[in-house]
């Protein structure tokens, strides 16, 4: 199985929630990822590319392979911070 997803990583749940609300109001996920994400993927608009099970930390893996597609999920806490995750496809 594989999936394609993008995410935004920030330091606090509050910051993640504010970004999620901005996305819900129509701001572009990739633009916000480039500006705010602390992950190197932020430079690519949060694009994580193709992911296989077990490549990401457990909490993120669960979202990528179990939650509905094209929805912004989060904030999800990991040892790295708080994530917003959006999955485009899985097969």
| pLDDT (tens digit per residue) in 63-90 | 999 999 999 999 999 999 999 999 999 9
pLDDT, tens digit, for every residue of 6-38? 999 999 999 999 999 999 999 999 999 999 999
For 25, the 3-state DSSP assignment is: coil
**DSSP per-residue string spanning 67-82:** SPTT-EEEEEEETTEE
What is the pTM (predicted TM-score) of this model? 0.94
Of 22, 1, 3, 19, give the one whose Cα is nearest residue 84.
19
- Burial of 50 by CB count in 10 Å (0-12 exposed, 13-18 middle, 19+ buried)? exposed
- What tokens appear for 38 in the block? 């602390």
Cβ(80)–Cβ(10) under 8 Å? no
């Amino acid at each position: 199985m594989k999936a394609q997803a993008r995410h935004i990583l920030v330091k606090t749940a509050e910051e993640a929630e504010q970004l999620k609300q901005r996305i819900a109001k129509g701001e572009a996920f990739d633009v916000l990822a480039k500006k705010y994400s602390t992950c190197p993927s932020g430079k690519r608009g949060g694009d994580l590319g193709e992911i296989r099970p077990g490549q990401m930390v457990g909490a993120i893996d669960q979202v990528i392979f179990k939650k509905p597609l094209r929805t912004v999920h989060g904030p999800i806490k990991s040892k790295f911070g708080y994530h917003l995750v959006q999955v485009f496809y899985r097969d």
